[in-house]
Amino acid sequence: MYKLWKARITWLFVAMILLLYGYMRLRVLLIALVILFPSAAAVTAQFDASQFGQTPQISITLNPNNPSPGELVTASLDDYSGGVYGSEITWFYDGQVISGATNQRQIQFVAGDAGTDTAVEATLSLPTGGTQTLQEIISPVYMDIIIEPQTRVPDWYAGRALPSLGSQINATVLLNDGSFIDPQSVVYTWRVNNKVIEGGPIRAGNRVAFPTPRGGAVTVSVTATTPAGETIASRVINVGIVLPELSFYEKHTLYGMKSSPITANTPLIGSILTLQAEPFFLDTRVYNNPDLAEWEINRVRTDNGSSNPYEITLRSSGGNNSTNVNFHVRSLQQISQGSEESITINF
């Protein structure tokens, strides 16, 4: 032991002398350190290729990684070792040889039904003899992102509301692997325009609400993982943003609103007409409490004489006449939350 330490000190001394005189290069210093401290060599020997993010030398990669049922999937052989060179490649899907795929490095297939596990295998018959089998399991899961914008559409309208700037969007993710997956067992990470919302991943957070940002569309992405971090499914969707649209409908005392909007060509019967302005896709908060809701008749601001700001009753003064009716609804805090439209009524 004494001799060993003596040798180390000697080498250290020599190394310092060389360093001081400027003859020492970095490589030599490292060699010296390795010799002096053998434990350091052991540390370097522990570096493993996988610690640098390298996967096994040959593998199958799937695109998309977590396919939906019935989705077209591309499986590729990734070979970082050159081991595939000269090998005969045979592909199997669900245990059956895929005809016409022999020696292909890439194949395509349709993912199976939800709740099924299907193996995709590639068998390499090596030129040196022997075989190597690679496998990936496909477990397709439906990931449905349901967007429910909180904007105004009339009750009789069978379509869905659309988001307008500043309005709230409710979004719900439904995972289905043959039956609905309990959200309690899933961790969800939501991103809106590539920004994580809700402060990060949230368990059982399959439903979120967020304001509609500026722009023509908003990108919503969701990643669902198990509590252990394994990805179950991931999706990105684009949601178009619209401006509120105003239409006028005739409202009958008994029957309610007619199903078609009034246009300049709409024949009107009778001398009294109740008009309902319908601001499609206006933020429901603005609709319920508008800062501005004004009617104009022949360019003169008019009190609509009703507790419903979206309704006005017109009376013909007799004979054939046409009347210009204008309605304007708007939030004064969020200027884009509003709409103005005119219509000519021919009695």
Cβ proximity to another protein, 121 vs 177, nearer residue: 177
Binding to another protein (CB under 8 A): which residues in 3-32? none
Residue among 46, 96, 179, 184 that touches another protein (CB under 8 A) = 179
Measured torsion, CA atoms of residues 15, 16, 19, 21, in degrees rounded to the nearest 10: -110
Of the residues 148, 291, 340, 341, which one makes contact with another protein according to CB under 8 A:
148
Residues 281-340 that bind another protein (CB under 8 A): none
176 binding another protein? (CB under 8 A) = yes
Q: Is 147 in the site for another protein (CB under 8 A)?
A: yes
**Residue 155 in the binding site for another protein (CB under 8 A):** yes
Q: Which of 91, 93, 142, 188 binds another protein (CB under 8 A)?
A: 142
Q: What phi and psi values does residue 246 have, to the nearest 5 degrees?
A: -105, 130
50 vs 253 by CB, closer to another protein: 253
Q: Single out the residue of 70, 86, 200, 227 in contact with another protein (rule: CB under 8 A).
A: 70
| Residue 329: strand pairing partners | 293, 339
Task: Please tell me whether residue 26 adopts helix, strand or coil conformation.
Answer: helix
Q: Is 128 in the site for another protein (CB under 8 A)?
A: no
Please state, in angstroms and rounded to a whole number, the distance separating the CA atoms of residues 58 and 44. 25
173 burial (CB, 10 Å; 0-12 / 13-18 / 19+) is buried
| Cα(11)–Cα(15) distance, integer angstroms | 6
DSSP 268-314: --SSEEEEEEEEET-BHHHHHS-SEEEEEETTEEE---SSSTTEEEE
The Cα 266–Cα 322 span in angstroms is 12
Residue among 132, 207, 285, 323 that touches another protein (CB under 8 A): 207
The amino acid that residue 158 corresponds to is A
Spatial separation of the C-alpha atoms in residues 295 and 328, rounded to whole Å: 7
Is residue 43 within the footprint of another protein (CB under 8 A)? no
From candidates 6, 25, 105, 160, binder to another protein by CB under 8 A: 160
Handedness of CA 318, 323, 329, 332 (dihedral sign): negative
Find out whether 206 and 186 touch, Cβ atoms under 8 Å.
yes
Is position 69 an interface residue for another protein (rule: CB under 8 A)?
yes
Residue 221 CB-density burial (10 A; 0-12 exposed, 13-18 middle, 19+ buried): middle
Judged by CB, which is closer to another protein: 154, or 201?
154
Work out how close the CB of 123 gets to another protein at its nearest, in angstroms, rounded to a whole number. 30
252 forms part of the interface with another protein (CB under 8 A): yes
- Say if CB 10 and CB 32 are below 8 A apart: no
Q: Which of 138, 161, 192, 293 lies at the binding interface for another protein (CB under 8 A)?
A: 161
Taking CB under 8 A as the binding criterion, the range among 20-28, 43-51, 173-181, 222-230 that sits at the site for another protein is: 173-181
Min. distance of Cβ 251 from another protein in angstroms?
A: 11
Shortest reach from residue 320's CB to another protein, in Å? 13
Q: List contacts with another protein (CB under 8 A).
A: 69-70, 114, 142, 144-148, 154-162, 170, 172, 174, 176, 179-180, 207, 237, 239-240, 242, 247, 249, 252-256, 258-261, 280
